[in-house]
Structure 1
Amino acid sequence: MKLPEGVEWALHCALLIAEAPDGMALPRRVLAEHHELPEAYLAKHLQALVRAGLLQATPGPSGGFRLARPASQISVLDVVEAIEGAASPFVCREIRQRGTGAARPEECLRPCAIAAAMAQAHQAWQESLRTVTLDQLVHRVPQTVRKRNRVKFSADR
């Protein structure tokens, strides 16, 4: 499965916001510059996170983005689905019912073995991402990087 770069951007930005000092909103400009991302394109992803209830946007000169709920209550899956949606990446087109090898309709009352395997894999992938929170990811970031980010964000304000 290949996810678009917007998922990576959203996850990294959500992680940076989770690392920000309490009460600090990080401006879109700061988030974009931090990873050398195009600000206008990043804005679309940040707004998707706001619509999903993961971020809060505060307008104005001291505005920016904050987590809408504690980092321990936002999973990686929440962020992925805010950007990409929850649909399975595999779409069964029922080709087993076409061509010279077509199965009869009564043989296709249940999903084929391939569709079932893909659905099972997608469910396992979702369950795995559901168990990882932003809070857990923050604690996986080396302390030296977390400290440097805090200093940088405070200086950028």
Structure 2
Amino acid sequence: MQLSIGVEYAFHSLFYMVDLPEHKSVGIREIAKLNKITESYLSKVFARLRKAGIVRSIAGVKGGYELARRAEDISFWDIIEAIEGASYFFQCVEIRKKNIFVDDPGLFTDKCPCLIKVVIQEAEDLMRERLKTRSLRWLHDQVEKDFTAEKKKTIAAWARDLF
């Protein structure tokens, strides 16, 4: 299983938005420059985050994006789902029903679900539930604990220079 690079872009971009003053926004260009990532791809990531209600766009010369919800109300799963979608990673196409040894395709009904699908989706459900327990605020607070005072000043200066 592999998540797209868009998930990583989203987490790293949203991380720095936690410290933005209320009603202040940051542009895609600034976030892309900060993380040394492509502006065009990041704009697609932010379109998905906006559609999911994680960020909102602010129009105008000083426009950009701001968090649409409090960081503690944005779970890891919210971010992943915004970028990757809600579908299960494992998509069972029921090839067992087409097996050359199956004389009666009707043998496999809802009463006899594909056990491979059942087990993998159970595991995915557990993963989703775990990811729902971690928030953007939690991530920010955990990472910030390891920042030196100098690094915190550098980040604060970056945010201050935006305005």
TM-score, normalization: structure 2? Answer: 0.88
Q: Conserved in 2, the CA contact under 8 Å of 1:20 and 1:150?
A: no
Identical counterparts, % of pairs: 32
Moved over 6 A (4+): none
TM-score, normalization: structure 1? Answer: 0.91
Alignment length (residue pairs): 157
The Cα shift of 1:48 comes to 1.0
Aligned residue identity for 2:41: Y
1:35-75 Cα distance to aligned partner (Å, 9 max, x none): 11111111111111111111011122211111111111110
**Residue equivalent to 1:106:** 107
Q: How far apart, CA to CA, are the structure 2 residues paired with 1:107 and 1:82? A: 34
Q: Conserved in 1, the CA contact under 8 Å of 2:97 and 2:108?
A: no
Q: How far apart, CA to CA, are the structure 1 residues paired with 2:19 and 2:109? A: 51
Q: Conserved in 2, the CA contact under 8 Å of 1:21 and 1:150?
A: no
Q: Which has the higher contact order (CA 8 A, sep 6+)?
A: 1
**Residue equivalent to 1:11:** 11
Q: How far apart, CA to CA, are the structure 2 residues paired with 1:103 and 1:37? A: 54
Q: Conserved in 2, the CA contact under 8 Å of 1:54 and 1:67?
A: yes
Task: Tell me the C-alpha RMSD between the 2 structures.
Answer: 1.6
Alignment of 1:8-157 (within 5 A): 8-102=8-102, 104=104, 105-109=106-110, 110-141=112-143, 142-144=146-148, 145-157=151-163
1:105-141 Cα distance to aligned partner (Å, 9 max, x none): 2244332110100110110111011111011011011
The Cα shift of 1:103 comes to 6.9
Secondary structure of residue in 1 paired with 2:66:
strand
Q: Conserved in 1, the CA contact under 8 Å of 2:55 and 2:66?
A: yes
Does 18-27 or 49-58 show the bigger shift?
A: 18-27
Aligned residue identity for 1:154: R
Secondary structure of residue in 1 paired with 2:87:
coil
Secondary structure of residue in 2 paired with 1:132:
coil
Q: How far apart, CA to CA, are the structure 2 residues paired with 1:78 and 1:57? A: 18
Q: How far apart, CA to CA, are the structure 2 residues paired with 1:122 and 1:99? A: 26
Aligned residue identity for 2:64: G
Q: Conserved in 2, the CA contact under 8 Å of 1:55 and 1:65?
A: yes
